[in-house]
């Protein structure tokens, strides 16, 4: 069973429907015990870093999320869910993220372009053999909606990058059990569905 973490922020139903479409057995839940019992976890999110981090703590989901990752269960972070895996964000100074990965989340620097970055962009793979992108064509387009992006201290985490307004930023990061995308795979047609299919197959 895949638990989609409900902390009151994010388009949970669209993520759930996409996972079900590719064969996932899905439960949307805000209960810590459901998160801990799941075989895989998805951390979605749309909104502000600070509000999300505080709500995760208020619902007693912070430690279960960390425990899930420490036990090497597969976890997929999506958009804000990716950013929450890091220590902090320029969006919400003084608010701690989950701290799974060392690094910070920064705002796009080029004020001459429209922010948020919204629309379809190509992702360039830095690790072409990555399991997340199995059967995904090179230079595929994915759908983005964001004003911030994470900068991991360890560049080896970066699986794929995209470019907007002259800034190249991490579009997908991952290690052996944690995957995270700045784009929305559930809104990215077949390429996005293939990434979800790969996650379900883990």
Q: pLDDT digits over 174-197, tens only?
A: 998 999 999 999 999 999 999 999
What CA–CA distance (Å, rounded) separates 130 from 115?
Answer: 30
Strands 2-5 and 26-29: parallel
Distance CA 40, CA 124 (A): 26
Separation between Cα atoms, residue 140 and residue 147, nearest integer Å: 21
Tens of pLDDT along 102-116?
999 999 999 889 999
| pLDDT for residue 89 | 97
Catalytic residue annotation: 79, 184, 186
Residue (of 121, 140, 124, 117) closest to 194 by Cα position: 140
From 161, 88, 148, 91, select the one nearest 116 (Cα to Cα): 148
State residue 9's pLDDT score.
Answer: 81
How does the average pLDDT of the chain come out, rounded? Answer: 95
**In this predicted model, what pLDDT tens digit does every residue of 141-155 receive, in sequence order?**
999 999 999 999 999
pLDDT of residue 8: 87
In this prediction, residue 46 carries a pLDDT of: 86
As a three-state string, the secondary structure of 169-186 is: EEEEEECCCEEEECCCHH
| E strand or H helix at 62 | helix 62-70
| Contact criterion met (CB below 8 Å) for 161 and 182 | no
How far, in Å, CA of 101 to CA of 77, rounded?
12
Q: How confident is the model at residue 45 (pLDDT cuts 50, 70, 90)?
A: confident
pLDDT digits (tens, 9 = 90+) for 78-137: 999 999 999 999 999 999 999 999 999 999 999 889 999 999 999 999 998 899 999 999
Which helix (H) or strand (E) element contains residue 15?
A: helix 12-21
Q: pLDDT band for position 159 (50/70/90)?
A: very high
pLDDT for 10 beyond 90:
no
């Amino acid at each position: 069973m895949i638990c989609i973490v409900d902390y009151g922020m994010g388009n949970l139903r669209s993520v759930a429907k996409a996972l079900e479409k590719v064969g996932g057995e899905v439960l949307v839940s805000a209960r810590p015990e459901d998160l801990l019992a799941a075989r895989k976890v998805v951390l979605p999110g749309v909104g502000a870093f600070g509000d999300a981090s505080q709500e995760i703590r208020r619902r007693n989901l912070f430690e279960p999320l960390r425990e899930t990752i420490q036990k090497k269960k597969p976890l997929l972070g999506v958009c804000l869910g990716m950013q929450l895996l890091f220590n902090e964000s320029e969006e919400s100074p003084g608010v701690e993220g989950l701290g799974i990965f060392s690094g910070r989340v920064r705002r796009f620097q080029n004020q001459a372009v429209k922010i948020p970055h919204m629309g379809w962009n190509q992702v360039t793979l830095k690790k072409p053999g990555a399991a997340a992108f199995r059967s995904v064509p090179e230079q595929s387009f994915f759908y983005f909606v964001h004003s911030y992006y994470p900068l991991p201290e360890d560049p080896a985490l970066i699986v794929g990058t995209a470019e907007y307004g002259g800034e190249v930023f991490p579009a997908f990061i991952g290690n052996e059990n944690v995957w995270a995308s700045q784009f929305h795979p559930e809104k990215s047609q077949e390429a996005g569905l293939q990434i979800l299919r790969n996650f379900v197959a883990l």
